[in-house]
Amino acid sequence: MLTHKSQTMIRIALFLVVSTLLTGVPKEPCAQQPTAPNIVFILADDLGWSSLSMPMDKTDPRSASDYHETPNLDRLAAAGMRFSQAYAPASICSPSRRSILFGHTPARQGDESFGTNYQPTAGNYPTLPQVLKGINGRYQTAHFGKWDMRAGFSPEDAGYDESDGDTGNKNGNFAIEGTDKWTDYFITSDPKRANTLAARSANFMTRQAKAGVPFFLQISHYATHVEKQTTAGSYEKYQKKPRGKKHDDPAFAGMLDDLDRSIGAVLDTLERLGIAQNTYVFFMADNGATEFMPAVRNRLDHPSQFTKPMRNYPLRGGKWTLYEGGIRVPFLVMGPGVEAGSQCDVPIVGWDLLATFAELAGENPASSSLDTDGGSFVSLLSGETGKPVARTNNALVFHRYNNGYPHSAVIDGDYKLLKFWKSGKVELYSLKEDRGETHNIAGENPGKVKELAAEMTAYFRKVNPELLTRYQ
């Protein structure tokens, strides 16, 4: 005859079995979830707008890769919103990352002067983690991966609670002397530390979820910056796959595949912890893809000068230039209230992120005192796509600091003007009709050229007048 204690133990066991059958595999135990949302920001390096296996613009099949496979980024897009006209702040790494951290344009921040003017320990300009903690002191913040500010301060100096330190590209490379980063590739089990970054992120998110506190996590991947690293399995997969017309490098495709798998692991962690419903996930690249042509210095040439579609096709150019291929990048968001499988065509830019994250954390935009060049696009995430993002400057103004080919660009509405400072040449394009920037209509539209040039000049005069004289 069973004792009372045995009967009680049997009833408890039966209850647990039935509960498991009804609810599925139990998630990891977490404390009560905070009302403030978690924010995960994933930043890829040198990844083109048309590099994913799904199109960044549903109306344009050319905006998808003809070779790469990115099932987890596709999964993120299917669960949320893709932005067809999202811009990195700059066409190279460091200025983009600086802009995102402080919410200012690279034109305002300067190049050589950045390290002097933007020291977060001085408190002159608040950083992204400092802003979030000022809104809600319970936020825990972490930055894992590539830092690359090149300004002598660390993520902790900028307000992050945890980080990998003051890292740069070298921390994701093997840096073997005598190899050619453009043509050589390396087989490794942890390409570009993608697996390590996923594990570091899972550890951080698990600890915050169990503590019941909101968090901001930035995962800055070393991929897909060259040198090319990939796993043996990924390389073999793309070696066997028929090459595309614009994408045909199995080592790069493998590296992107490995990056995608790391991102999938982060999404899986959110599901396992039971916090996905209270977490926003943002994904973007710091600039467009490079052109893997080792001796190429004609990156400003017209697309007709090349014998095959370039790697950012249908966009023109790539990293280092302010043509669309250098600054228009993949941008995906999923989270509470974001319609699954939706697309937004309103232009947004990387210096909008600080204001956007601040509003998600609880800041009221109407009474905000944030010192930022950007504007919040939270309303776009909820489907209100009828009006542009409210910024201090309506036009988007970009500048490429480079003594060899300094140039600037301004985008206002459907039109984009580029100015090349040494030659004085200007180019005008209608992005609505010609996103590939193949037909310069400056000669046909002198009024529009004058209007956009005046906007550019006015902005530089306001934020960095030295730009108007340094190349003359």
Do 294 and 202 fall into the same domain?
Answer: yes
Q: 222-243, pLDDT tens digit by residue?
A: 999 999 999 999 999 999 999 9
Same domain, 175 and 250: yes
Q: State how far the Cα of 377 lies from the Cα of 383, in Å rounded to an integer.
A: 10
The answer on 274 and 151 residing in a single domain is yes
**Model pTM score:** 0.93
Q: Are residues 195 and 113 in the same domain?
A: yes
CATH number at residue 360: 3.40.720.10
Q: What is the pLDDT of residue 5?
A: 38
CA distance 103 to 109: 10
pLDDT higher at 18 or 129: 129
- 349: in domain: yes
| pLDDT tens for each residue of 139-171 | 999 999 999 999 999 999 999 999 999 999 999
Average pLDDT, the chain: 92
Of the three residues 353, 381, 409, the one that is the final residue of a domain is 381
**pLDDT for 378 beyond 80:** yes
Query: Has residue 202 been placed in a domain?
Result: yes
- For the segment 110-135, the average pLDDT, to the nearest whole number, is 94
- pLDDT for 310-361, tens place per residue? 999 999 999 999 999 999 999 999 999 999 999 999 999 999 999 999 999 9
**pLDDT band, residue 410 (cuts 50/70/90):** very high
Q: Is residue 24 part of a domain?
A: no
CA distances from 189 to 120, 152, 232 (A): 36, 32, 8
Quickly state the pLDDT bin for 121 (edges 50, 70, 90). Answer: confident
In a domain, 388, yes or no: no
Same domain, yes or no: 375 and 456? no
Domain identity same for 334 and 421? no
What's the average model confidence in pLDDT over 12-23?
A: 36
Domain that holds residue 410: 396-468
If asked whether residues 320 and 426 sit together in one domain, one would say no
Whether residue 80 lies inside any domain: the answer is yes
Q: Are residues 430 and 377 in the same domain?
A: no
pLDDT: which is higher, 9 or 256: 256
Whether 276 shows a pLDDT value over 70: the answer reads yes
Are 300 and 406 within one domain?
Answer: no
Closest CA to 86 of 334, 307, 373, 286: 286
**Which residue, of 381, 406, 437, is where some domain finishes?**
381
Answer yes or no: is pLDDT of 3 > 60.
no
In which band, very low, low, confident or very high, does the pLDDT at 182 lie, cut at 50, 70 and 90?
A: confident
Number of domains present in the structure of the chain = 2
pLDDT for 179 equals 85
Is 400 found in the same domain as 373? no
- Quick one: 160 and 201 in the same domain? yes
Q: What is the 3-state secondary structure (H, E, C) of the chain?
A: CCCHHHHHHHHHHHHHHHHHHHHCCCCCCCCCCCCCCEEEEEEECCCCCCCCCCCCCCCCHHHCCCCCCCHHHHHHHHHCEEECCEECCCCCHHHHHHHHHHCCCHHHHCCCCHHHHCCHHHCCCCCHHHHHHHHCCCCEEEEEECCCCCCCCCCCCCCCCEECCCCCHHHHCCCCCCCCCCCCEEECCCHHHHHHHHHHHHHHHHHHHHHCCCEEEEEECCCCCCCEEECHHHHHHHHHCCCCCCCCCHHHHHHHHHHHHHHHHHHHHHHHHCCHHHEEEEEEECCCCCCCCCCCCCCCCCHHHCCCCCCCCCCCCCCCCCCHHHHECCEEEECCCCCCCEEECCCEEHHHHHHHHHHHHCCCHHHCCCCCCCCCCHHHHCCCCCCCCCCCCCCEEEEECCCCCCEEEEEECCEEEEEECCCCCEEEEECCCCCCCCCCCCCCCHHHHHHHHHHHHHHHHHHCHHHHCCCC
- Last residue in a domain, options 381, 409, 425: 381
Q: Two tokens at 207?
A: 């600890």
| 22-71: pLDDT as tens digits | 334 444 545 555 689 999 999 999 999 999 999 999 999 999 999 999 99
Give me the CATH number covering residue 435: 3.30.1120.10
First to last CA, the chain: 100
Residue 316 CB contacts under 8 Å (≥ 6 apart), including other chains: 302, 303, 310, 323, 324, 325, 436, 437, 438
Can you give the pLDDT at residue 296? 60
**Both 188 and 262 in a single domain?**
yes
Q: Is residue 22 part of a domain?
A: no
| 166 located within any domain | yes
Instruction: Give the confidence band of 15 by pLDDT, cuts at 50, 70, 90.
Output: very low
Mean per-residue pLDDT, 103-120 = 95
Reference 270, options 35, 71, 80, 39; nearest CA is 39
Residue 15 lies in a domain: no
Cα 168 to Cα 165: distance, rounded to the nearest angstrom: 9
pLDDT at 254: 98
